[in-house]
Amino acid sequence: PRAHSYTKYNNWDKVESWIASISSSNSDLISKQVIGNTYEGRPMTLLKLGRKSSSTKPAIFMDCGIHAREWISPAFCQWFVKEALSTYGRDAQMTSLLDEMDVFVLPVLNVDGYDYTHKSNRMWRKTRSRRSGSSCVGADPNRNFDAGWCTVGASNNPCSDIFCGYKIESEIEAKNVADFIRRNKSIIKAYLTVHSYSQLLLFPYAYTYELSATHSELLKVAEGASAALRSLYGTRYTSGPAAATIYPAAGGSDDWAHDLGVKYSYTFELRDTGRYGFLLPESQIKPTCEETMLAVKYIASYVQKNL
């Protein structure tokens, strides 16, 4: 069977074996921990990048694959890990980042859904949780967090693609991430969650049109990151508060992290703007990942300077 490739969409089996191999490749810079299992019992393995240190370092948390069909997202998290390890010691900014901070990377948050898109329904979005009383499966993990839960831009219909779940953190995948971030909130300085598509760099809030207290700073950093991204291939992103920039949507992980106190909280909507949508060709994985690296490094360096 085909091996893992950074320029292909790897199925879960390949991502899982990649996680095992990459996390044992360089004991000084990377380690792994399972933060819980999914509904169907698959491990949620979190990678920790950063020079080993006896003292606790400030951290950035990034998740990919919260929505199953957004395949370019897990592809980016894999790319980020590869770039971090391969440019440490060579790229001054990456070296400084991993010396001073840790970067937690969750390559695939919604593992059950991701596997399902490879095996059954390419357009699946939600988790794969089941509950008596409904023949419909799953909830939208990005409507399941404790942030204006189920008030706007979400549905209480289990058959909806934006079903908010039966309660806050009803989805074990969301709860596992929320538990980890709660446990580590004193060290987590930034939260990044990677989605597709639309080419947007969004920040709180989506559950209200109210602006965040730190709106101007969040916007300034987002515009800087978008400019960095655009410098490579000219790809244009729109930056802004989510409710007005995309649509109102309550229960999101970014809004929740921001209200928990993680100041720098961003949602990426990667390529494209609709020509291929979720079915972004594999030929665009490399350019998408390389340009997105510039945006993520921009945000990371800003966070680092403002520790």
User: Which is closer to ligand DDK, CB of 218 or CB of 249?
Assistant: 249
Pick one of 128, 189, 195, 297: the residue that binds ligand DDK (CB under 6 A).
195
H/E segment holding residue 60:
strand 59-64
User: Which is closer to ligand DDK, CB of 242 or CB of 285?
Assistant: 242
Amino acid sitting at position 34: V
**For residues 79, 80, 86 and 91, what is the CA-based torsion angle, rounded to 10 degrees?**
130
Pick one of 102, 115, 254, 291: the residue that binds ligand DDK (CB under 6 A).
254
How many C-beta neighbours within 10 Å does residue 57 have?
A: 16
Least CB distance to ligand DDK at residue 269 (A):
6
Q: Which does 81 bind (CB under 5 to 8 A by kind): ligand DDK, Zn ion, none?
A: none
User: Which is closer to ligand DDK, CB of 243 or CB of 303?
Assistant: 243
Cα–Cα distance measured from residue 101 to residue 130, given in angstroms and rounded to the nearest whole number: 39
How many C-beta neighbours within 10 Å does residue 307 have?
A: 9
User: Which is closer to ligand DDK, CB of 63 or CB of 254?
Assistant: 254
CB 254 within 8 A of CB 203: yes
Looking up tokens 């101007």, which residue turns up? 216
Least CB distance to ligand DDK at residue 134 (A):
21
Cα–Cα distance measured from residue 31 to residue 46, given in angstroms and rounded to the nearest whole number: 8
The binding site for Zn ion (CB under 5 A) comprises 67, 70, 195, 269
Reference 16, options 97, 118, 93; nearest CA is: 118
Binding status of residue 242 toward ligand DDK by CB under 6 A? yes
Which 2-41 positions form the footprint of ligand DDK (CB under 6 A)?
none
User: Which is closer to ligand DDK, CB of 42 or CB of 67?
Assistant: 67
Pick one of 47, 72, 249, 289: the residue that binds ligand DDK (CB under 6 A).
249
Binding status of residue 165 toward ligand DDK by CB under 6 A? no
First to last CA, the chain: 45
Pick one of 102, 112, 115, 255: the residue that binds ligand DDK (CB under 6 A).
255
Binding status of residue 267 toward ligand DDK by CB under 6 A? yes
H/E segment holding residue 48:
strand 43-49
- Whole-angstrom CA distances from 36 to 109, 133, 142 are 11, 26, 18
Q: From the candidates 40, 269, 282, 291, which is the catalytic residue?
A: 269
Binding status of residue 252 toward ligand DDK by CB under 6 A? yes
Q: What is residue 268's three-state secondary structure?
A: strand
Quick check: is 269 catalytic?
A: yes
Binding status of residue 271 toward ligand DDK by CB under 6 A? no
Least CB distance to Zn ion at residue 286 (A):
8
- Residues with a catalytic annotation lie at 269
